[in-house]
Structure 1
Amino acid sequence: MGTFKYPAEFRADAVALVRSSTRPVAQIARELGINHETLRSWVRAAERAERPGAATESAKDAELAALRKEVAELKLEREILRKAAAYFARETLG
């Protein structure tokens, strides 16, 4: 079964409704015709996005992941070059 993507405006309005209401999230979700866990995840995501430094942390995490990937590639390249150098040294001597 496929997933349905709700428009950003609908998600923002739903989160605002949860925040301004005293009703339970499950009740609001039922009234909106969406799954309560979906609505909970939207509220959590909005809270994370509003947290100071959230964008900075995610940018740092992305940069760290990219750098770790680059380091792994460079180590692999170095190992290949080391083996190639050893092979050609044997060919020259032998």
Structure 2
Amino acid sequence: MTNRTSNKFSPEVRERAVRLLLEHKGEYPSEWAAMTSIAAKIGCTGETLRHWVRQAERDQGLRAGPTSEDRERIKALEREVRELRQANEILRKASA
């Protein structure tokens, strides 16, 4: 898993953008048209807003996939595994 970019937008901005989309998507010919319009007002790309909306849907149980809580837990476990592997490697080299 690669770390793409820093989080430029606060959680409040993300939540507001998702809420705006959900409230106003009926005013646009398509969900994507709503996303690109609202994203431009927020200062992000349509694809970024699409990602936020899909994650919010997963968090609410409306879409299959890992929730934000699950993703954080997975990252923590991956970090722990990496640290344990490094410690094992150090111990293995020290005992040789």
**Percent of aligned pairs with the same residue?**
27
Q: Which amino acid aligns with 1:40?
A: R
Q: Which amino acid aligns with 2:73?
A: A
Whether 2:59 is the aligned partner of 1:41: answer: no
Whether 2:80 is the aligned partner of 1:70: answer: no
| Aligned position for 2:3 | none
The alignment of Structure 1 onto Structure 2 pairs a total of residues equal to: 79
Whether 2:9 is the aligned partner of 1:13: answer: no
Task: Give the structure-1-normalised TM-score.
Answer: 0.55
Give the drift of 1:15.
0.2
Task: Give the structure-2-normalised TM-score.
Answer: 0.54
What SS is found at the alignment partner of 1:66? Answer: helix
**Structure whose CA Rg is larger:** 1
Q: Which amino acid aligns with 1:18?
A: L
Structure 1: give runs of 5+ residues left out of the alignment: 83-94
Higher helix share: 1
